Chain A
Amino acid sequence: MTATVARKRSALTKGQLPKFAPYIVLAVALVVAAAIMALIGFNAFGWGIVAAILFAVGLVSWSGAVEGARKAKDKLATCLVVGAFLIALLPLISVIVTVLINGIPGLITPGFLGTSMNGVTGAFDNKAAEEGAPVLGGIYHALMGTIQITLLATVISVPVGLLTSIYLVEYGNDRPLARAITFFVDVMTGIPSIVAGLFAAAFFFAIVGPGTKTGAVAAVALSVLMIPVVVRSSEEMLKIVPNELREASYALGVRKWRTITKVVIPTAISGIASGVTLAIARVIGETAPILVTAGFATTINNNVFGGWMASLPTFIYTQILNPTSPSNPGPSDQRAWGAALVLIILVMLLNLGARLIARMFAPKTGR
């Protein structure tokens, strides 16, 4: 048998598609799809879909002919799975692009971050839309509101959530109370945000009086949403602390509560802190609970306990549904998208911050 430079033929390689087969099929699919789209009116989205379908059909049938049904099914599965991923990316890219395109003009308008909507009426918007006057009004009040309400919600949620997770991990031991708490905390993660808002509203109606709408009520509503997240993530972090550390502490004659506060929690603190940050990131974008509890103000209100308060999400919502000038919704849209961009930036910063915190506070192993 002469050794050849060409590809060796062995019993293990026969009956396979050539390695460059997918690329051939891809190229053909793109061309044919372009031709089809040229006939019925070209748009990029349609071209992509038709090309994808042609690619899948082409590759799978070619594989079926050469390699057999089993491998063809495998290739079909691969096409579908990769396709699913690409489909999932589409809305992500679309949302981000939309927010950027529509939000940047709003964000760079001078005064956007520093002013509120105090005094901005439909007349101003009409002038802006029809005569090119600058778009007035900004999100300062909403930004402040978001920060204050979220801060208050955090102050309520973190102690309650952390103490509960400590109870579940350190003292619970499968007791009925612990099992009940775990089960209902899980259930709480599924409470619709608007129901949490209704609860806080109803709670304050009953206690303080009907029609109470303040930032504090909104903070309570957000706490209902935050607490289960804090409990779950803190619980996971506490469970990760090796039992050996607790035993080492007990063996030194240290009491349980001191062991928890001085050994267990410091070891778990990075995970706990990043869990709390993620919980904040989750509730900072909630609209419904704030809508039903804090109303929506147009002026700056720094008192969490009195009067309506604006927040970024409710600002966006109201600007879109009830534009300041119904005949010229353009400026309202611009402000809304600017606010949306700010909100997304905040959420991304919080998510990033959570990762950084996790890394920063992790117990170091300096060698």
Chain B
Amino acid sequence: MTTNSLTTSQGAGRAGDKVFSGAAMAAGCLILAVLFGVALFLVVQAIPALTAPPADIQGGHGFFAYIAPIVVGTLIAAVIALVIATPVAIGVALFISHYAPRRLAAGLGYVVDLLAAIPSVVYGAWGAAFLAKEISPAYDWLATYLGWIPIFEGPASATGKTILTAGIVLSVMVLPIITSLSREIFLQTPKLHEEAALALGATRWEMIKMAVLPFGRPGIISAIMLGLGRALGETMAVALVLSSGVLTASLIQSGNQTIAAEIALNFPEASGLKVNTLIAAGLVLFVITLGVNMIARWIITRHKEFSGAN
């Protein structure tokens, strides 16, 4: 029993296993290192701007005074985008999952995915060349009849290149994200719940209210948050469409700015402290979108256990 014929084996193969699994793990660790590196390098390059004397920073009042209105502008644009996109996206998702004829459903899903495939710069060009011009008369109308509401205060921009227009373009870009996620969630509603509702004599809409929407609510919330993350970070839709300026409450005048557009417009020609300032702005954007995305993913993982879809 001392010699075991099973121990004489291919030793080289065993090393192969170690090499391969090591390489795979190294690749994974590389990703963590990259992410960590993003944060680190951004911070390092941003610090000079954060610690510089206020007078040196654009606007003359220090970094936070510079960035605060831009952050607000970013939020305004994102909120406009979500307010428009969310109801439409949920409607489209419901349409594809529960209303459209079965044979068409896959094709319709593909059509909506086409919206996602169009590059952002093309949306920006469309927004600047087409949408802004077409929507400008509507802004005049708003300024005339609803001008007493601060967000519609006139005089309306002649070119139509306002933050509202940018927000509309953003909503078109965010729509496919929310739609496809919601659609998948609606399709995963357990047939049992749907059938139970229908067997009670519910109409289609009542069945959706009873079975589909409650089941899908956490998924919808996380889809909205992912859309929010995208809207916050989008550059081209804003840079090409918005005629930027100082923070204004009126949505139909030119003015306002988002972080991403500010960086895109100024970085190529920037030098010295301006570069650090813009990188610091990028860091702020990174932190905001990181937070939003982490919350969204946390919601999804927390509910995966209860969704029964495994």
Interface: B148 (CB within 8 A): no
Name the residue on B nearest A287 (C-beta). Answer: B121
Name the residue on B nearest A257 (C-beta). Answer: B20
Interface centre among A99, A206, A281, A291 (most CB of B within 10 A): A291
Across the interface, do B263 and A198 meet the contact criterion of CB distance under 8 Å?
yes
Across the interface, do A186 and B293 meet the contact criterion of CB distance under 8 Å?
yes
Interface: A48 (CB within 8 A): no
Q: How far is the CB of B226 from chain A (nearest CB, A)?
A: 7
Q: How far is the CB of B225 from chain A (nearest CB, A)?
A: 9
Q: How far is the CB of A11 from chain B (nearest CB, A)?
A: 14
Question: Could you tell me which residues of chain A, from 36 to 92, have a CB within 8 Å of some CB in chain B?
Answer: 70-71, 73-74, 76-78, 80-85, 87-89, 91-92
Interface: B92 (CB within 8 A): yes
Q: How far is the CB of B222 from chain A (nearest CB, A)?
A: 11
Across the interface, do B236 and A287 meet the contact criterion of CB distance under 8 Å?
yes
Q: How far is the CB of B62 from chain A (nearest CB, A)?
A: 21
Interface Cβ pair total, 8 Å cutoff: 265
| Segment from A2-10, A27-35, A108-116, A332-340 that makes contact with B | A332-340
Interface centre among A92, A227, A284, A295 (most CB of B within 10 A): A92
With A74-B205, A88-B92, A187-B290: A316-B122 Cβ-Cβ less than 8 Å: yes
Partner of B21, one of A164, A206, A257: A257
Interface: A168 (CB within 8 A): yes
| Chain B 93-115 per-residue mask, 1 if CB under 8 angstroms from chain A, else 0 | 01110011000000010011011
In the bound complex, residues from chain B placing their C-beta under 8 Å from that of A191 are 38, 233, 286, 289-290
Q: How many residues of B contact A (CB 8 A)?
A: 91
In the bound complex, residues from chain A placing their C-beta under 8 Å from that of B296 are 190
Question: Could you tell me which residues of chain A, from 285 to 303, have a CB within 8 Å of some CB in chain B?
Answer: 285-288, 291-292, 295-296
| Chain A 233-260 per-residue mask, 1 if CB under 8 angstroms from chain B, else 0 | 0000000000000000000000111101
| Segment from B25-33, B49-57, B152-160 that makes contact with A | B25-33
Q: How far is the CB of A80 from chain B (nearest CB, A)?
A: 6
Across the interface, do A82 and B99 meet the contact criterion of CB distance under 8 Å?
yes
A33 to B13, CA, bound (A): 78
Across the interface, do A84 and B16 meet the contact criterion of CB distance under 8 Å?
no
Interface: B206 (CB within 8 A): yes
A191 to B205, CA, bound (A): 37
Across the interface, do B28 and A167 meet the contact criterion of CB distance under 8 Å?
yes
Across the interface, do A95 and B122 meet the contact criterion of CB distance under 8 Å?
yes
Interface: A154 (CB within 8 A): no
Across the interface, do B27 and A292 meet the contact criterion of CB distance under 8 Å?
no
With A257-B16, A321-B240: A84-B119 Cβ-Cβ less than 8 Å: no
Name the residue on B nearest A346 (C-beta). Answer: B119
Q: How far is the CB of A73 from chain B (nearest CB, A)?
A: 6
Partner of A88, one of B23, B119, B175, B290: B175
Q: How far is the CB of B305 from chain A (nearest CB, A)?
A: 14
Across the interface, do B204 and A78 meet the contact criterion of CB distance under 8 Å?
yes
Across the interface, do A84 and B23 meet the contact criterion of CB distance under 8 Å?
no
Interface: A178 (CB within 8 A): yes
Across the interface, do A202 and B42 meet the contact criterion of CB distance under 8 Å?
yes
In the bound complex, residues from chain B placing their C-beta under 8 Å from that of A256 are 17, 20-21
A281 to B118, CA, bound (A): 9
Across the interface, do B25 and A177 meet the contact criterion of CB distance under 8 Å?
yes
Interface centre among A167, A192, A291 (most CB of B within 10 A): A192
Across the interface, do B129 and A102 meet the contact criterion of CB distance under 8 Å?
yes
Across the interface, do B45 and A205 meet the contact criterion of CB distance under 8 Å?
yes
With A88-B175, A95-B122: A159-B27 Cβ-Cβ less than 8 Å: yes
Interface: B83 (CB within 8 A): no
Known: A198-B263, A317-B240. 15 other contacts (CB 8 A): A70-B206, A71-B203, A74-B204, A95-B122, A95-B126, A167-B27, A167-B28, A171-B21, A177-B29, A181-B32, A191-B286, A202-B279, A206-B44, A257-B17, A291-B264
5 A-B pairs closest in CB distance: A285-B119, A192-B233, A84-B91, A163-B27, A190-B293
Listed A/B pairs (17) with beta-carbon separation below 8 Å:
A76-B205, A77-B204, A78-B99, A83-B91, A85-B100, A94-B126, A190-B233, A191-B286, A192-B235, A194-B264, A258-B16, A284-B119, A288-B235, A288-B260, A291-B264, A292-B263, A317-B124
